[in-house]
Structure 1
Amino acid sequence: MTLILKASELQALADMPGTIAAVERVFAGLSRGTAVQPAPDSLLLPSSDARFLPMAALSGAEELASVKLLADIPANRESSLPTQRSTIMLVSQLTGETLAILDGKVPTRVRTAAASAVATKLLARPASTTLGLIGAGALAVTHVEAMLAVLPIENVVVWSRSADTVAAFCSEISHYGLNITRASSVRDVVESADVLCTLTPAVEPLVRGEWFKPGLHVNAVGSRPRADHREIDSAGMVRARVFVDSLPTARAKSGALIIPVAEGAMTFEDVAAELGDVVTGTRAGRQGDDDVTLFNSVGIGLQDLAIGRLLYRAALKRGVGTRVALNN
């Protein structure tokens, strides 16, 4: 039987600490060779700016194969529709049975923040107390929850183009008892932060490397997986020690990396490590308090596999979802 799980059902099943641990585990599996993560292809037609990305993954430790089909359709904004939609399929690595089909909205948001938390735990200064956020939507709310799981965050400095979005964000996180500052500019956020998360679908850079102070850690999260989109300028990438979730994926999909390489400002060999290699200790993370570290988060299928397994098991335990016999 296959379990179908809707977004509304998944929201109640999401567990941030469990997801952080699961994402860290699959990153380690990628480093050790017990998991497989091919770079995703982009499917596109010359008549449209839409992209369709099948994001596949396989893990022996999790005994799962998965694929998420991500639809990235910027034109949806004109119709007040989501610009990104996705569906995740989980398949038993042992039997080939389709175990579950999940709406991708909640899993993607939570696993993305969890990956930032893994990077932050490994790369940020342990005493970091001020979180800076560029963007104040749902992903920002989830990142606050994730950062609190790994650091003693006391202060949040946030910027968004929309005052209404910032107000809603402040209301959403008010129960944490944090000191919240509404910044007047992106630069103010960058210069205030110990840990900076950029969470916007920017095409052109919003963040400049000249604003980076010694000791900063950056999670560059928001830009679409396209070679010409980025939030961080070339100077920022050169200034930082750069870490990625998967180098083949970043080389194919990350404008933040592809553009400065094309400009000659850096090379792909300048990437310090994949995050999984830092998890397993085969490559160094932060080397000193003055290092600027940057996690270039493109997003990989193993993250979807990790959270998909957690959500599937939680749904079975709680009796949530709709069972369908697909092979009847």
Structure 2
Amino acid sequence: MTLILTRSEIHGLLADATAEVAAAVADAHRDLALRRADLPAPPAMGVPGSDGAFLAMAAASGPAGLAAVKLLADLPGNAERGLPVQRSAVLAVSAETGAVAAVLDGAVLTRVRTAAATAVATEVLARPGARVLGLLGTGPLARAHARALRATRDWERVLVWGRRPERAAELAAWISGELGLDAATGVDPRSVTEAADVLCTLTPSREPLVRGAWLTPGQHVNAVGAPPRPDHREIDSEGMARSRIVVDSFATARRKSGEVLIPLAEGVLGEDDFRTELGDVLTGRAAGRSTREEITLFDSVGVGLQDLAVARLLIDLAGKEGVGTRIDLTA
């Protein structure tokens, strides 16, 4: 039987599973480093005459017992239609028999696994004494990050900036009321960047929001929000050059990350500057932070193995709680 999970069902299953999602994502990156999982760079497809892009984000995992693919549609024209710019769905099959295990809506799954990857990276790369968290962006991804990062450090303050001040104030109030953290708004990206020990960029920006000159010694940056397109980035070339970079996947970053591809084309970075993957750090194959003064940066493009890891978790949780619809696709 094939499990079908809707967005609201996934939201309910993951609402209290922050730690479980982070553990699943961390295990997936360890499996990748130890060659127990396969993660090809996703191909991008387009429709003639459209600026839309379709990414097939595939992965296979022995420990999870699944192969999966998420079809991500990135459609800028949807903004004028009042529709989400990005939409996705995940298909997971048994790695042993090929039977379709699950079909899952991708929105909440993607948001939660992205925030979990940031939390995992922050645990191993940020200074132990980090106390100020900065969030650039005010959408659902920012809320997911605030929730996922809450347990990674003893935050004394959270600073929020967004293009619409009212949305930033709303997010700060939610962080204070829902998460019990002291939160306030910043006046601009620079003020938040300069004050933050850990900075998360969570916008779909095409042009850099953060300048390298604003980064401070010992800071950790999570570059998350830019869509997986080679001409989109939130951090400028100087910022990338000043940082020790860790990526979720070298193959994916080499093909899809504007954060690394633009400075690579400019000659500011070489490929060796972004070869270290998160799984390498988690398994001890590469060092994490080397000094208190080092600026570290996690370039999070997002990978299909993270989707697979959360799909495995959702299948298991749905089975325990009796959630979802089960159908026989072969009938």
Q: Bin the TM-score by the shorter chain.
A: over 0.9
Alpha-carbon separation, structure 1, partners of 2:159 and 2:173: 14
Note the C-alpha offset of 1:287. Answer: 0.1
Percentage of matched positions with identical amino acids: 53
- Which of residues 304, 315, 319 is equivalent to 2:322? 319
Q: Which amino acid aligns with 1:59?
A: S
Alpha-carbon separation, structure 1, partners of 2:267 and 2:259: 13
Is the deviation greater in 148-157 or in 181-190?
148-157
Alpha-carbon separation, structure 1, partners of 2:96 and 2:72: 25
Equivalent residue number for residue 20 of structure 1 = 22
Alpha-carbon separation, structure 2, partners of 1:63 and 1:118: 23
SS in 2 for 1:70: strand
Alpha-carbon separation, structure 2, partners of 1:158 and 1:231: 16
What value does the CA root-mean-square deviation take over the aligned residues?
A: 0.9
Equivalent residue number for residue 8 of structure 2 = 8
SS in 1 for 2:44: coil
**Residue 218 of structure 1 pairs with residue 239 of structure 2:** no
**Residue 141 of structure 1 pairs with residue 117 of structure 2:** no
Preserved CA contact (<8 Å) 2:160 2:171: no
TM-score by length of 2: 0.98
- Which of residues 18, 29, 32 is equivalent to 1:30? 32
Aligned positions of 1:160-309 closer than 5 A: 160-173=162-175, 174-271=177-274, 273-309=276-312
Preserved CA contact (<8 Å) 1:71 1:85: yes
Note the C-alpha offset of 1:171. Answer: 3.4
Structure 1 unaligned residues grouped into runs of 5+? none
Q: Which amino acid aligns with 1:147?
A: L
Q: Which amino acid aligns with 1:300?
A: V
Preserved CA contact (<8 Å) 1:196 1:217: yes
Alpha-carbon separation, structure 2, partners of 1:271 and 1:9: 37
Alpha-carbon separation, structure 1, partners of 2:221 and 2:36: 28
Alpha-carbon separation, structure 1, partners of 2:315 and 2:173: 30
Note the C-alpha offset of 1:163. Answer: 2.0
SS in 2 for 1:307: helix
Aligned positions of 1:142-157 closer than 5 A: 142-157=144-159
Note the C-alpha offset of 1:269. Answer: 1.2
Equivalent residue number for residue 73 of structure 2 = 71
**Residue 94 of structure 1 pairs with residue 85 of structure 2:** no
Note the C-alpha offset of 1:272. Answer: 5.4
Query: Which string of whole-angstrom CA distances, capped at 9 and with x for unpartnered residues, describes residues 116-154 of structure 1?
Result: 001000100012111000001111111111111221122
TM-score by length of 1: 0.98
Alpha-carbon separation, structure 2, partners of 1:285 and 1:273: 10
Alpha-carbon separation, structure 1, partners of 2:216 and 2:169: 28
Q: Which amino acid aligns with 1:8?
A: S
Alpha-carbon separation, structure 2, partners of 1:184 and 1:268: 36
Aligned positions of 1:110-125 closer than 5 A: 110-125=112-127
Preserved CA contact (<8 Å) 1:147 1:153: no
